[in-house]
Amino acid sequence: MTLANHYSYWVIIFLAIAGLYIVIARGNLVKKLVGLSIFQTSVYLLYVAPGKLIGGTAPIVSPQFQVYSNPLPHVLILTAIVVGVATLALGLALVVRLEEAYGSIEEDEILPQDRDA
Amino acid sequence: MREYLVLRVIAKMMIAFMLLFALYVQFHGDFGPGGGFQAGVISAAAIIFYAVIYGLPAARRVVPEWLVETMVGAGVLLYATVGLAGIVLGGNYLDYFVLDSNPVHGQVRGIFWVEAGVFITVSGVMLKIFYLFAGRRRNEGPET
Amino acid sequence: MAVATLAIVVQRNLFAVVILLGIYSFMMAAVLVALDAVDVAMTEASVGAGVSTVLLLGALYLTKGDELKPLHRPLLPLGVAAATGLVLVYGTLGLPAFSDPSAPIHRHVAPRYISEGPRETGVPNIVTAVLASYRGYDTLGETTVVFTAGAGVIALLRRIRRRKKEGDPQ
């Protein structure tokens, strides 16, 4: 259990906290969605990275290869990406409606309007 | 973007290849990387490219709204129907072994139709979302 | 990739953020190829870098292009993020090492998929076989989610014009 063995996890964690920070710290709703996307890609890596075997190849069976990387995370993440963009579009649609209703996409401007109303 | 001649000509050349590539990804997905999800997105991207270069009305003429909306629902229905076909032919839901006398051929056939359903829904949804975002700009914003 | 991520965090012009996100997606696709996930990389390149960039740009056109300076100090979110990161790093110490063939992920169902998949389904690409056949229920569910998201966007964005003409007090 050396440190180098866990390097891949730390890259994932860096991406995850970068996304988390954007979501918490920034008031702009589009920026928040971008942060969510980054968080999401860190989860893709979290699934796919452990499935990799050094010396393995992509899971397309061929007589020349013996070792394959794990196909199961690929399947899960493949669908997750497409679902992710669909939900991103849903979020953007909500942002557009908010912009029309409040004239702003900044949390700091929307919340006072709600309080005054 | 109507005045950029280079963009228009290059786009016209590339869109054919993009659609061809989408079909390749769809039908070669059994042997190489690819499948319904990717092919659906690529074909939708080709149409979106067309819409960006030639304007939304031109794209709406090529792929009309009713067709897109039908595709959104039809793909899921096709997928579910493949599952029901498994029951009708004596297997379980989404059981492809019974779709052909040879179980392996049945599997290949089932995967083909399921991927087709995924392709139809994904490309339909992506195109519909783009049409909505782009069409809203036209209705709401000032004339630019 | 780290540079692109930090640039996204710092940059306040949303247009630049969206383009940086596209660059980031392409780099993510390259990383996924290196991890042998060719199907996933293809999806990420077409979806992440292509369609979602177009959608974000479309949404930006409908809203504003610049982000305000945040009113709050960023210290508290930074602290929360750093604390979460530290907890996660501590958690990784208990996980199996990278590319460890005896890790649980490689011993469960995956070997069976690889050894039996091509024979049972006649499809050499195991990802396709698992996606459409072994985990057909999952994929049906995912397709339904995509369908539902599309229906949600349609419900949110369509025919605002008519409602405004009716003189909605809002």
Asked if B105 reaches chain A (Cβ–Cβ under 8 Å), the answer is no
- Tell the burial category of C169 from Cβ atoms under 10 Å away from its Cβ (0-12, 13-18, 19+): exposed
Question: pLDDT: is A117 or A96 the higher one?
Answer: A96
Ranking A28-32, B56-60, C49-53, C164-168 by mean pLDDT, the lowest is C164-168
Asked if B125 reaches chain A (Cβ–Cβ under 8 Å), the answer is yes
**Over 60: is that where the pLDDT of C167 sits?**
no
Q: Give per-residue pLDDT as tens, C88-144.
A: 888 877 777 776 667 777 777 777 777 777 777 777 777 777 777 777 788 888 888
Q: Do A89 and B41 touch (CB under 8 A)?
A: no
Q: Give per-residue pLDDT as tens, A34-56.
A: 889 889 888 888 888 877 777 77
pLDDT for position A2:
57
CA distance C134 to A71: 12
Q: Do B133 and C50 touch (CB under 8 A)?
A: no
CA distance A95 to B5: 35
**Over 60: is that where the pLDDT of B140 sits?**
no
pLDDT for position A3:
59
Q: What number is the average pLDDT over the span C3-20? A: 76
Q: Do A58 and C37 touch (CB under 8 A)?
A: yes
pLDDT for position B53:
85
pLDDT for position C1:
67
pLDDT for position B131:
87
The residue of chain B nearest to residue A71, with distances taken between CA atoms, is B33
Asked if A89 reaches chain B (Cβ–Cβ under 8 Å), the answer is yes
Asked if A111 reaches chain C (Cβ–Cβ under 8 Å), the answer is no
| Chains with at least 3 CB pairs less than 8 angstroms from chain B | A, C
CB-nearest to B125 from A60, A78, A86 is: A86
pLDDT for position C95:
74
Cβ contacts of A14 on chain C, cutoff 8 Å: 2, 5, 85
Q: What number is the average pLDDT over the span B70-86? A: 86
CA distance C138 to A77: 12
Q: Provide CB contacts within 8 A for B74, sequence distance 6+.
A: B120, B121, B124
pLDDT for position C125:
76
pLDDT for position B144:
34
The neighbour count for residue B37, using CB atoms within 10 Å, is 32
Q: What percent of chain A has pLDDT over 90?
A: 0
CB-nearest to A96 from B31, B126, B136 is: B136
pLDDT for position C165:
44
Average pLDDT of every residue of chain A: 81
pLDDT for position C99:
66
The residue of chain A nearest to residue B118, with distances taken between CA atoms, is A79
pLDDT for position C26:
87
Q: Do C121 and B115 touch (CB under 8 A)?
A: no
Which band of pLDDT confidence, cut at 50, 70 and 90, is reported for residue A4? low
For domain A3-116, the CATH class is mainly alpha
Q: What number is the average pLDDT over the span B15-40? A: 83
Of residues A93, A82, C135, the one with CA closest to residue B42: A82
Cβ contacts of A96 on chain B, cutoff 8 Å: 133, 136
Which band of pLDDT confidence, cut at 50, 70 and 90, is reported for residue C164? very low
Ranking A2-6, B66-70, B128-132, C95-99 by mean pLDDT, the lowest is A2-6
